[in-house]
Amino acid sequence: MEPAETVNAFITAIEAKDLDTALSLVSDDVEYDNVPIGKVHGPAAIRAVLEPFLAAAREVEWVIERQAAEGHLVFNERRDRFHMRGWVEVAVNGVWEVHDGRITLWRDYFDDASFRRQLAPPP
């Protein structure tokens, strides 16, 4: 697969809440940098971050608005949507590095305060 195809397959697996398939597309030493929150390394650490969150969502949609790829780099602008009590949506800019068909770096930039406000119980 080309790097953009690998990233798209990863996103498709996340939308299906299929972490096993998603994590099969990352390297053993992958770095996941959820920029406003922090970094983790390795598939098990990514699972620990994502599994509880995905389990809490009835549906997941990561809508790619724009995507560009050059060499081993992929950049995308997305709307990550999670159906919980209602839809929670966050604008995300993603940076990905893919080597030998596996994601070695996944970095997401987003406004954490806006996201957390949507998750807060209604007043």
Show pLDDT as tens, one digit a residue, over the chain (123 residues): 899 999 999 999 999 999 999 999 999 999 999 998 999 999 999 999 999 989 999 999 999 999 999 999 999 999 999 998 889 999 999 999 999 999 999 999 999 888 888 777 777
**In the prediction, which pLDDT does 61 show?**
98
**Residue 76 to residue 28: CA distance in whole angstroms:** 23
Of 20, 29, 108, 112, the active-site residue reads 108
Q: What is the domain partition of the chain in residue ranges?
A: 3-119
Of 28, 80, 111, 112, the active-site residue reads 80
**In the prediction, which pLDDT does 85 show?**
83
Contact 3, 72 (CB under 8 A): yes
**In the prediction, which pLDDT does 81 show?**
95
- Residue 80 known to be catalytic: yes
**Residue 111 to residue 31: CA distance in whole angstroms:** 20
- Residue 33 known to be catalytic: no
Q: Are strands 38-41 and 59-70 parallel, antiparallel or unpaired?
A: unpaired
For the structural domain made of 3-119, what CATH number should be given?
A: 3.10.450.50
Q: How far is CA 65 from CA 51, 58, 70, in A?
A: 25, 22, 17
